[in-house]
Amino acid sequence: MDDIRNNLIAAIDIGSSKIVTIIAEVSDSDDHISILGYGCAPTQNGIKDGTIQNIDAVVAALKKSTETAEIQATYELGSIPNIYVGISNTSIETINSTGQVAIPGDDKEVRIEDINRVIGNAQAVDLRDGREILHILPQCFSVNGGDWIKYPLGMVGARLECRVHIITGSTATSQTVLKSLERADIIAKQLVCQNLANAKAVLTDDEKELGVLLIDIGADTCKVSVYYEGTPYYNCVMKLGGKHITGDISQALKIMPNNAETIKVNYGVTDFNYVDESEYIQVPHVGGREPKKLRRSELVYVIKPRVEEIFGIIRKDLADHNMLDKMTSGVVLTGGSTMLPGIEEVCQEVFGVQSRVATLPKFDGLGEFVQDPSYSVALGLIMWGYDKMKEDGCFDDVSSEKPKSNIFQKIGEFWNKMF
């Protein structure tokens, strides 16, 4: 059996279009994170709207993605106890709940046990059949009905109250993910809502304190999060994504979806200020006919209305949940589709606040190769796992000798497949 490497973290982002794996080495002494390996594999239509539709396709993608990362890192996932898996689908729902308990003892001092009890009281919510709690995130506390504060430990009073943000999901969905991981010989330490991982990677503390909206536009879905006073207040996943933009291009130009995706990625634009009127692109025809020339600016007429619609639907949902007043610092955009030039301007027009495309954290090692916005969830999972390791005191001195028993055999097999 391979040696257990307590200073390693693996992140697996299970997305609708692809599965991303990152392996990182971390150090508690200097808050150092180094990317050792990464892999990416398409799901081959195995996932729709964040939900697994074909478990065999997902298992195959998991194996391909993790194997690539293992070969680069020269570590196997079996030697890494800290594996965090990001999940997201349209069954994700959130609840903001409150709870209160009496503070026992003669001195009436708030202790860790009291904080745990009041959080437990707040999480006692009724869930529909087939649903489970994924995360319980404390927002604030109050002693004797006083001001809401972050840290009540050591304060004195007779009553302790708290507010918590609860994220729930489909039990069947989580079980299907775990079954897929099991078939790929992966043991996850925790399933993490991708919304939280995204926020960990791309939001600043100031933004979360003032209030911010985070939108991740993926292939099939949009992950939406609102942070206020440093904590999450709202999270959801909507059936809106880059594939809708691709579909519009395919219909408008009468081309195959794969060609439409290529045009979107390479030439897509959402604002006329970001394109030269004299610029033309080649649009492939079906049936082997000659490609035709198209003014690139014409794509704005196709793409911008869909992007406006996506932002408009999100804005209405936030209004319905009374969240529009909690985004003082603006909107942060991430995900593959946010690389469309001009998308920030469209976002500002719809929401009426400043917006920016997310900047990803930069790590050592192979960090420069995972700066694409589509890696934001996986990088956030690494950061999430690092924080959990520090909280749990998981760091210790381990042998510097790497487990080589099987990984170099995998490298050989990889090259045999290539040639």
Q: For the domain covering 204-359, report its CATH number.
A: 3.30.420.40
Distances (CA, A) of 230 to 193, 201, 323: 18, 15, 15
The ranges of the chain annotated as CATH 3.30.1490.110 are 93-169
Q: What is the pTM of this model?
A: 0.89
**Which one-letter DSSP state was computed for residue 156?**
B
Identify whether the C-beta of residue 231 lies closer than 8 Å to the C-beta of residue 137. Answer: yes
Cα 233 to chain centroid distance, Å, stands at 16
Identify whether the C-beta of residue 324 lies closer than 8 Å to the C-beta of residue 300. Answer: no
Mean pLDDT of 220-228: 95
CA 292 – CA 279 distance, rounded (Å): 14
pLDDT of residue 396: 52
Helices (H) and strands (E) in the chain, counts: 11, 18
CA 16 – CA 258 distance, rounded (Å): 16
DSSP string, 258-326: HHHHHHHHHH--S-GGGS-TT-EEEEPPGGGPPPEEEETTHHHHHHHHHHHHHHHHHHHHHHHTT-GGG
Q: Has residue 411 got a pLDDT over 50?
A: no
pLDDT of residue 399: 40
Identify whether the C-beta of residue 298 lies closer than 8 Å to the C-beta of residue 248. Answer: no
**CATH level 2 (architecture), domain 8-82+361-418:** 2-Layer Sandwich (3.30)
Identify whether the C-beta of residue 249 lies closer than 8 Å to the C-beta of residue 225. Answer: no
**Model confidence pLDDT, tens digit, residues 120-161:** 999 999 999 999 999 999 999 999 999 999 999 999 999 999
Name the residue among 14, 31, 13 with its Cα closest to residue 22.
13
Percent of the chain with pLDDT over 90: 80
CA 218 – CA 373 distance, rounded (Å): 10
Q: Go through 299-321 and write b for each residue having 16 or more CB atoms within 10 A of its CB, e for each that does not.
A: bbebbbebbeebbebbbeebeee
Q: How far apart are the first and last CA of the chain?
A: 30
- More reliable by pLDDT, 62 or 413: 62
Mean pLDDT of 25-44: 89
**Model confidence pLDDT, tens digit, residues 283-336:** 988 777 788 999 999 999 999 999 999 999 999 999 999 999 999 999 999 998
CA 318 – CA 302 distance, rounded (Å): 26
Please identify which residue in the block is written with the tokens 């979107």: 264
Please identify which residue in the block is written with the tokens 């909280």: 391
**Model confidence pLDDT, tens digit, residues 353-377:** 999 999 999 999 999 999 988 899 9
Distances (CA, A) of 19 to 52, 86, 338: 12, 10, 19
The ranges of the chain annotated as CATH 3.30.420.40 are 8-82+361-418, 204-359
Q: Is CATH 3.40.50.300 correct for 93-169?
A: no
